Structure formats: structure tokens, C-alpha cells
Structure 1
Amino acid sequence: MKSGKAYVEPFTRRGTIWGLIIPYIPLIILTLLLILKPYYLFPTHGDLDFHLVRAREIMLDPSRGLLWDYLVYYPMGRPLGHPPLIQAVIAGLWTLGGVRFAHSIMCVTQILLTVFTASWVASRWYGRRAGLIAGTLVLASPRPDTLSVIMPAAYIPVLVVLTVYLLGEDRLSAAVTGTLALWTHFIALITVVPAVMADGIRRNLRVIAALTPSLILWWAYFLSFRGAPQEASPGGYFSAGWLVFMVLLYFGVPGLYLVRDRREFRPLMVYIAIVLAAEFLFDDISRGLQYVALPLAVVGGYAGSRMLETPSTAMRLVTVALIISSATLFTEQLLLTDIRWSDTAIPFENHYHPLKEYIESHTGPDEVVWASAPIADKVAWMTGRRVSSGHYGPPPGFRETHQRINIYQEDGRFVVRDGKNRTVDVIDPL
């Protein structure tokens, strides 16, 4: 089996400044765009409410919040939907600099770490030019929202690819990145250890042994609460992102073929196959494809680099055009956003801010409120109040109970009713 050492193109030899910069041009450009267009100054759609509730719970009571979701569906609460590492990081940043600070750092980190990992690993395995191409291809997302919205699952491709790379460089570091993955998202529980085993069980026995305690802990936790509701995911999702994703497949599939004799092939293929199979079973194939975009981009960088070596000028032009087009959808979203740094004067909760102020001024920190499903989790993370309802499905045997303050969302306004269903206030959004 061929080693995983880097192939170095003549025009990008190590030791030259230009050669060092080339793989990270996509990272540099994206960093500048994220500074100029700070979309992350406000909450975005997706599963963010779920994760902010978890972060708020950890802030309020770490010993309880790390193991149980207790602010919603009071008094029972519900078991965790994912291991709590990312939510704990959000909680720490929230404590340090506020919720907007935490949200901004996590959004930017999630995007830049993905692009950096693609460029760095591809350049180490296949050369600097491959790193440049991989950093561009990884933006060809079928679900751009899952790359820009805080999601623990977005870190799994990063941690798995780093683990596979480090198995050939530093097994202790591989054990660390693999363990971090197991504490980040449920999908890691079915992908990390199989990927390590695919690299060779005997030579990775120590890595597997280091991963086993976390694997057992979280499998035991989730199996103990089987049947309990977890985080909800939308079904199939089709958008213009699928057209751009075809470009990634154009490079990624040949890339897998080209590296079939290299050490990294089997671990990456095992990860890709398990993710796609799992998401197919859960009827969410779009996210499955999103979570294999990074390994496809890494090997796709090698395929693109090889295509640029062909003697055909037409082939080289088409290759360059496709590589550039792979980043268009994601960067276009950043360029078209109308959010500016001056918008920091607007509260982070945006049009939900008047509702937050009302609840905080009309209830005590230990009081329980009720809220209609679309805003129940928002009420929990904005105010820290316990909510006798939720958004992602009640635990078995739970029955909703109305409270002294009950909040409904009707016709774009927030209607507050008392325990006898009498309207006591109507709150206009910001």
C-alpha cells in the first residue's frame, strides 16, 4: 500500500512563500468575506434554537445540563439529542462574551475550520495545488445552511478527516480528535471507530482502546433512552446547492478511484458509506451528502490537480471553470447578505427581543411559562425560563400544562394569555 506522503508540484515546492500560501487562498478569501459580510451577527434558521437551549442549560447548571435537557418540556425534560461538547463550548463563549459573541465565533470557526482542513490535509497528502483545489471544492455544498448555521454534525467530517490523516502521523493525536468527535455528535458513534478499524485493527489497537470508553458511555446513554425524541431533521431537501454539488462529485468520485491504493482510501470510504446509509435510513440524504463533502473535496483536490496536468488546453480550461464555480453558491450568499457591522445596534434576538423583555420583566427566574411550539425553544434560550412545552416532540408520557403566562404566536404578533385563556397582552415584534 502506498504511503500517505505528500506529492509536491514543481511550482509549489516547500520553502517558498508562495508555495506556503497557495493551498490557503480559499481560506484567506473566505475570511475576508466573513469580515465584510457578518451574517452571523443574528440568529439564523435551522436547528440553532435547539443548541442554544442546550448551551443556556449548561450555563445555568453545568452538572445537570451536561446530561439532561431540562428547560423545555418541564417538569420531565428530555434526554440529550447529542453529546454535549459543542454546546458546552457555546456556553463557555456565551459566559465569556455574550450570546452574539458565542454565535459569531462558532459560525466563523465552523466554516473556516472546514476549509482549512480540506486545504491542509489535501496539500499534505497530494500537494499544494491539490490543497488549493480542495479548499474551493469543499464549499460545493448541497446544504449550504448546515455549513453556515451552528451544528455539531458539521464538525464530524473535520474531526474524522483529521483522525484519518493523523493515524499515519501521530496516533495519540488521532485518538484525541476521534474522542472529540465522539463527544460532538451521535453520527460519530457509528463512524469513527469503524473508520479507524478500516485503517488496520492491529496497528491502531491503542487508538481504538482510547476511543472505547467514550464510545461505551454514549452508546449506553442513548440506548438507555431509546424511543425518546431526539433532535428533529427535515426530510429531503433540494435546492440550487445540488447543482453545485455535482461539481464536487465530478472531482470527488474520480478522486476516490485515484487514491484506491493509498492508506487513506479505506477509512474515508467506510466513513462515506456509513454516513450515506444512515442518512438514507433517516430520510435525510441531503445532510448525508453534506457530511461527506469534506472527504470528497480532499480526494477531489487530487483529481483536479491531475486534470490540470493533461496536455489538453480545453480540458484544463473546463477544470478551472468547474473548480471556480464550486464556490459560487456559498460565496454568493455571503455577498448578497444585507447585514453590516453597524447592525450590532439591533438586539441579537432581532424581532423576538420585545418578547424576551416582556417575559423577563413579568416573570421570575424560577417561574415556568408555556409557549406555542414554534417559539417554545426560543423562549427557553432567550430568557432561561423553564417552558412546559417544546418544539422537537415531547418525551413519552408527557402532557402539556398551561401556566400563569402562556404565549401564542398569532398573525405575526405574540399574544399573552393567562391561565383562564384570557388575553392580557399583545406584543409587537421588533
Structure 2
Amino acid sequence: MATSPSPSRSRSRSLIEPDGGALVDLVVPETQRPSKMAEAEATMPKLKISKVDLEWIHVLSEGWASPLRGFMRESEYLQCLHFNFLRLSNGSIVNMSLPIVLAINDADKAAVGSSLNVALIAPRRDDGNDSIVAILRSVEIYKHNKEERIARTWGTTAPGLPYVEEVIAPAGNWLIGGDLEVLEPIRYNDGLDRYRISPSELRGEFERRKADAVFAFQLRNPVHNGHALLMNDTRKRLLEMGYQNPVLLLHPLGGFVKADDVPLDVRMEQHSKVLEDGVLDPKTTVLAIFPSPMHYAGPTEVQWHAKARINAGVNFYIVGRDPAGMSHPVEKRDLYDPDHGKKVLCMAPGLEKLNILPFKVAAYDTSINKMAYFDPSRAKDFLFISGTKMRSFAKNKENPPDGFMCPGGWEVLVKYYENLQANEAG
């Protein structure tokens, strides 16, 4: 794994190369869309996809999974599942730790029959009617061994894993792979599409800002001042290394999350307040949505999160305690060792060109009344405010300690839980 570069007075402003050498773009050019749509409507069997399937189409279409060009065929699936990487035709490898697959049932398999190409349909957001969103070419159908997939991805088959319960368990017993052609850019029309910035667009924004280093921070929770400490310290470290203009990609996850996570629209409003309040500098921060669904698969999934950011031009990735982790669904403990995520990232095959920046745990330091890095020698001075505790404060209209979160951001959360409680009572 690449380590942090040694200090230097001058740094190249060229962005890190995407995996495979070229960024994948699977959206059909506008001039070709009518003919592709007509072909799909007239000649292809139709497969209805789920909301999460559409999120994966979004991910694939914009090149987050470059060089992958569609839902995985069996050889790609097996490499991903057993090796956490894909081997390219030139012998090189790229990291790929999560299977990006499309499941179908027996009836779907029969409907496809011997057809080489299929049309994928999803409900339109405006009227709910089904429409064709993509074409899958040169398809291959193979067995979906759910137990093997679950065990190798999560390291357990314990009941209660959110992505398993809601996505994999009800899915069909077959997987269909092929080359994807997306008939138009994926839009959600939820007021947040302006934040759904593709890897190509992000690269353009980083170039416009003349960034000579790009560092990414992913989270699926509201930003508190401990997170801000990590991000601001990272920029300081990069400046000390000799970079002139490090730019932060604040990149919350925008796909499937478990039911008790704060919804995306609330998180984005809260993140915007963090920028408005000056906790993070808007001039050196790009706020955007990462469209991937969340697996909560710990060290396996965090590789995917890091790999995808390479394709957006990121060359430094912040990783802290228990990335992509969760509590064990049955036992009272963490599902994964909290330190394994950052250790795995520092030696994962295919991530050698990405610089991993591990950080210590931040907590509320009662001796100075602000968030600081935890010091074991005076552990009694630190207060750990978990996501559960934070939600409890907001639900009960209790203020957290001064210095935990910017006031504007906290007001967003309090308002959200007030509305949630009112709706539940009604």
C-alpha cells in the first residue's frame, strides 16, 4: 500500500488515474437513445428491477466501478467474491470487494430464455408507470448461491444483516450479468440531484479548483465536530507535506441504508449547515453524494468505498474506527474488529496507488469542552457520544455538550426528530 508522500515544495496537479486507465461511461449518447429504446421495446424480454438495483445501475453508469462495464458475469463474480479483485486482460488487477450483481427468479430466467439482450425496467418517479431504463447485452445467467455470497461478504450468516434481509434474502436464485447500456442519466427528482456529481464531473471540479491533492471522507451519519477535526487536520497534514491546495471531497453515502439511519435529505441539509457555519471551509470542500447502497460489511466493504473514490480522482482516503461496521445483529458486540478496516485498506490488493490516512478516535474532551483525539492516559476526561446517544439527545430536545456539533447542524437534527415523532404519534 502506498504511504504518505515525503514533503516536497512542488506537487503535480494531475489527478490520479482511474482504475483500468479510462473512466467508464455507460450512458447512451442522446442521439442514439430513440433507436436503442425502440430496439428494446420491440425485440427484448423485459426484467423489472428493484430500487437498489437502480442504485447499482447508477453506480455502474457513471464509472464508480470502473473498469466494470455492467452487472458481473460469473467469472467476475467469483474473482470478486473469493479474491476481492478483478484481473484485467493485461494481467494487472483492480480492487473489487463487493459483488455488483443483478438477481432474477425462475420466471425471469424462463422469460429471458435464449435471448442475448434484455431490457431492464423500473417505475418512473413522476407517475409510477414502468419504463425501460437500461439494456443488458450479451447476458450470462448463473446460480445465485446466497449462503456463499453472504458468508464471504459479511463473514457471518447471522440473521438481521440489513442488506441481506432487505435485498438479498427476497431476491431470486439466479444472477444475470452482461454489458450495460443506460438509456439516460439516472435522476431521482428529490431535490438532491445537484449533489449527485459523477466521477467525471468531480474530476472537472477538482481541476477547476486547481487541486494538487484530493482527500475524501465518507460517512452515513451527521457531521459532528470530531469528524470536522479529522478533515481539517488532514488538510493541515497535506499542506505540511508540501501540497499547495488540498481539496476535501465530503462524500456521504446516498444509496440504501438501514431503517434507523438518518435519511439522506436530512443529512445533506445538516452537512450544508456545517459548511455555512464555517466548520468546514466551502472554498476547499466539495459536498457531493456517493450513490452506492450500503452493505455494512466492514473491512470488505471499506475497500469498495476507497476503490470507487479513485475513479473520482481522489488520492487520499481518510479512514477511522470501524469503517462500514455495525453492531453484531444478534450478540452485544461489534460485528468487526474496529481496527481491521484501516489495516485491510493499508494492504489491500489493487489499492496501492491510493494513500490511506488512518486517524485516532475523536471524542468529547471535557477538560477543554470540545472534540479532540482520545488520549488513553486521561480516559476519564473523554465522553464518547455514540450515534444512539446523539439521536437520544435530539429526540428528547436535549442539547449535546457545547462544541460537539455546530448549532445550525444540530437544529436540523432536532427538527427532523420532532417531525418524526409527530408523524409516529399521528
- TM-score, with length taken from structure 1: 0.28
Which of structures 1 and 2 has the bigger CA Rg? 1
- TM-score, with length taken from structure 2: 0.28
Q: Report the structure, 1 or 2, having the larger strand content.
A: 2
Q: Report the structure, 1 or 2, having the larger helix content.
A: 1
